[in-house]
Chain A
Amino acid sequence: MRTKTLWLWLALLVTSLALVAAGCGGDDDEAAGTGATTEESGGNEAAEQVITVNWGTEPPSLDPGLASDVTSANILFNIMDPLVKLDEDLKPVPAAAESVETSEDGKTVTYVLRDDLKWTNGDPVTAQDFEYSWKRTVSPELAADYAYQFYGIVGAQEYNSCDPKKDDCAALADKMGVKALDDKTLEVKLTSAQPWFVQQSAHHSFIAVHKATVDKFGDKWTEAANIVTNGPFKLENWEHSSAIDLVKWDEWRDAASVKLTRVNGRMIEDGTTAVQAFEAGEVDVLETLPPDETARLKETPEYEKYTALGTYYHGFNVESITDVKQRRAMALAIPRQSLIDNIAQADQIPATGMTPEGMPGYDAINPASPWLPAEGDMEQAKQLMSEVANPKKSITLYINDAPGHREIAVGIQAAWEELGIESTIKQQEFQQYLEFLGPPPNKDVDVYRLGWIGDFVDAINFLELWTCESGNNSTNYCNKEYDALIEKARATEDNDARYEIYGQAEEILFGENGDMPIIPFYYYTYQGLERESIKESFDRNLLDQVDLTKVVVTE
């Protein structure tokens, strides 16, 4: 049951998010943010508090139930008012909720809403709105990607899995454990004690929608002309694939603290075009940079870098490259530092394990793999390769077609050629690629590239990928011992004890006797350009979220 494990790990992680990650990750973030900006602090507030951002792409949906990507989530958090919000340290703080209480047995969570909440059309925001919204997201009719976020609630999974032809879905909906006791009180019944649930409810899928609007406009309720919101900004204009403009909503409960009066948003997908738009002064913020331009842009005062929580890796099909010595040799052969410096160029950190730096407990978890020296070790690689009984000398390296991957693949190809391995690079469009990788992967795949960006701040989010049943494990790698460790970690509440287990799991993958099902390549960084007038107040957290209410334009 894939769905079950999904929420299990989610749960665990979010816990750790609350308890641990906050401090650790937050510090890193802070360091990256303030280090670069302190010198120009102290500017006066500009008279015109307007910025233009680049959303990067058309958000697939601004329906909190359907949105499943960073762009949509980022916009939603700025136009809607979630029950709880994550602060800079990623700790949950009440937002639309005045208070949150968890019962003694941990199985009931009660949210009490503030008195001063309303929708942009003047209606009050009620607990019934939340009940309706959550059930809507879970409903099979909506078919939401993130329905599984609610599986910790009594009856949610049953409702989500109901077949309208066979089951009585309405009855199942009634049984789901979320209920508005009165206008202000929302009671949630959980299947078990889940101390992480409150943090989890900061996820954008828990945001309420305005029922009358949804009923009236159906699928079209998110259009700018129809939408009713309740957050610090209003959606003023949505020209599809072109612009999303927000304006400050003066009647929001905390409008006094919001400085920006207007946020214009473009959607420039192509990296080169976006940089040109920034340099021409058409946008004030870029959140991604094309790798080829990084070297030049790094020298500009607008350049900004943030810690990210992600790992870029190349996976082996272990049924094709069966000899662990060959896998180790292929890992050793790659001069990753040099490829990062010359190609990726965003100061990514050469990975020495799966769990990225910045993750709570990183020092305890990281295996410091002997097979992953930053500059590679061609001598040892050749030595190892010569010991391989039946080496696979001709392989296919699959990548998805996006800027940067091809260049890195070309670098790897050259290194492996020196090792005596002839590799063919094949690239596919992302959709096709994902299907191609399975799991199980297509037979033609020997090595493939992918990355993983954390959903929440706990190492299990990364390590869970390599279990036998994982829907994201395209390596064919399956190690019962490893799976057992992951299961054990799930049941371990104490952080240090859990980190130790994570460490053992990493050791199985990358240690002295590690199986090397993948080559962790580097840990991601976020980089971007920010106009100096907002650089100080503009911040992205570990999960790549931007709180526009904090942004101030200085002179």
Chain B
Amino acid sequence: MLKFIVRRIFWTIPVLLVVIFLTFTMMRQIGGNPFRQSERAVTEATQRNLEAKFHVNDPWYLQYAHYVKGVATFDLGPSLVVRGRDVNDIVATHFPTSIQLGLFAFLFAIVLGVPLGMIAALRHNTWVDYSAMFFSNVFHAVPSFLIATLLIYFVALKAGWFPTSGWTSWEHKVLPSIALGFGPMALFARLVRGTMLETLQQDYVRTAKAKGLRYRRVVGLHVLRNSLIPVVTAAGPLLGFIITGSFVIELIFNIPGIGQQFVDSVFNRDYSVVMGLTVLLSVIVIVANLVVDILYGILDPRTRDVRA
């Protein structure tokens, strides 16, 4: 197990190099001048001074080497547009916000989704099951921007229970987390129900029941544990998706996370910020996958040997 983990961690290094190289190459293809942020033309002297200051005219391999060196020393360079701020600062201010949003959404999804799926499975083929599944299917399909818009209008504006936007107090965090967590919640409910139904039909569960073990205990120990495997599998990519996919929610709720920052930076041609954020997002996706693999190994020992 340890060997497996160490190997996986080492493997992230070449992966990161590839990601950096791809982002780096792609960003160089985008037209636009980061030093001109308004209709006003920039004077020649200023443009020259800025290009010199940020080394944007060096040959590409020098820039790439410089950048990789920076990443290795955890220095992502200065922003080209937001003067006086480093990408490190930007990451430090905005990243925790996005992580928080992602985690809250994820928590919301698990806390509501897993029990919903369990209840549906235990009350298989009753109206409880049907309505739970109907709603989770629908919520999985409705785009988050509609959910967010409706939540803001009815819950924040009309009822006045929560603020409409921002990310300061806990009240601010409720609606965005719900809006982002709705889809995953529905997904979890469906996943848990599916595997739980399967597990309940397994022989050992039937045997346990027949043996007179208490139903509750059976469900608690065996069934739940097995039912969580697909949830964990889904959790990795999903966590990555929630964090990177929160662009729309951040926009609608005016949350200062990296999603909004990323979009702004792409539009402003702030190359260093885009690079930095992409590398960071990749790390998240990679780490999320890694964590899942490890968890998976713990929950389902069979997979360990195969994957190691």
Contact = CB atoms under 8 A, between A and B. Distances in A.
Interface stretch (A127-135, A137-145, A253-261, A482-490): A137-145
Interface string B241-252: 000000000011
Contacts of B166: 242, 266, 277, 282
Contacts of A436: 31
A434 B53 contact: no
Interface string A427-450: 001111011100000000000001
B269 A431 contact: yes
Given A241-B93, A280-B164, A431-B269, A219 B85 contact: yes
B157 A240 contact: no
Contacts of A69: 37-38
B34 interface: yes
Given A61-B84, A145-B42, A239 B93 contact: yes
A451 B39 contact: yes
A430 B81 CA distance: 14
A145 B46 contact: yes
Given A273-B252, A282-B165, A141 B32 contact: no
Interface string B145-185: 00000001100110010011111100000000000000000
Contact of B254 (A60, A222, A269): A269
Interface in A48-81: 58, 60-61, 63, 66, 68-69
A471 interface: yes
Given A60-B81, A219-B83, A431 B45 contact: no
Nearest to A161: B45
A95 interface: no
A44 interface: no
A270 interface: yes
Interface in A276-290: 276-277, 279-280, 282
Interface string A446-477: 00001110010000000000000011100000
A515 to B, nearest CB: 22
Given A66-B83, A434-B32, A160 B165 contact: no
B80 to A, nearest CB: 11
B260 A241 contact: yes
B164 A270 contact: no
B85 A240 contact: yes
Contact of B163 (A6, A239, A280): A280
A148 interface: yes
B84 A430 contact: no
A273 B164 contact: yes
Nearest to B162: A280
B253 interface: yes
Contacts of A242: 166-168, 256
A143 B83 CA distance: 10
A276 B165 contact: yes
Interface residues of A, number: 57
Contacts of A216: none
Interface in A303-354: none
B33 interface: yes
**Chain B interface residue count: which class?**
35 or more
Nearest to B160: A280
Interface in B1-51: 30-46, 49-50
A270 B251 CA distance: 7
A121 B152 CA distance: 43
Given A141-B53, A148-B43, A280-B160, A66 B36 contact: no
A175 interface: no
Contacts of A471: 41
Nearest to B156: A280
A269 B257 CA distance: 13
Contacts of B35: 145
B197 to A, nearest CB: 42
B268 interface: yes
B32 A143 contact: no
B82 interface: yes
Interface in A195-227: 219-222
B261 interface: yes
A452 B267 CA distance: 20
A268 interface: yes
A435 B33 contact: yes
A267 B84 CA distance: 19
B83 A452 contact: no
A147 interface: yes
A2 B43 contact: yes
A3 interface: yes
B94 interface: yes
B32 A431 contact: yes
Contacts of A267: 254, 256
Contact of B49 (A143, A240, A432, A434): A143
A435 B254 contact: no
B90 interface: yes
A215 B86 CA distance: 18
Contacts of B260: 241, 269
Interface string A413-438: 00000000000000001111011100
21 contacts: A3-B44, A60-B82, A60-B83, A61-B83, A141-B53, A143-B50, A145-B42, A148-B45, A160-B46, A161-B45, A269-B254, A272-B252, A276-B152, A276-B156, A277-B164, A280-B157, A280-B164, A431-B32, A431-B37, A431-B268, A436-B31
Given A60-B83, A280-B157, 17 more contacts: A63-B83, A140-B45, A143-B52, A160-B49, A222-B84, A239-B93, A240-B93, A241-B260, A268-B165, A269-B251, A269-B254, A270-B251, A273-B252, A276-B153, A277-B164, A277-B166, A435-B33
Rank and list the top 10 A-B pairs by shortest CB-CB distance, nearest first: A471-B41, A143-B49, A241-B256, A431-B32, A219-B84, A242-B256, A276-B164, A429-B267, A143-B50, A161-B45
Interface of A: 2-3, 6, 58, 60-61, 63, 66, 68-69, 140-145, 147-148, 157, 160-161, 219-222, 239-243, 266-270, 272-274, 276-277, 279-280, 282, 429-432, 434-436, 450-452, 455, 470-472
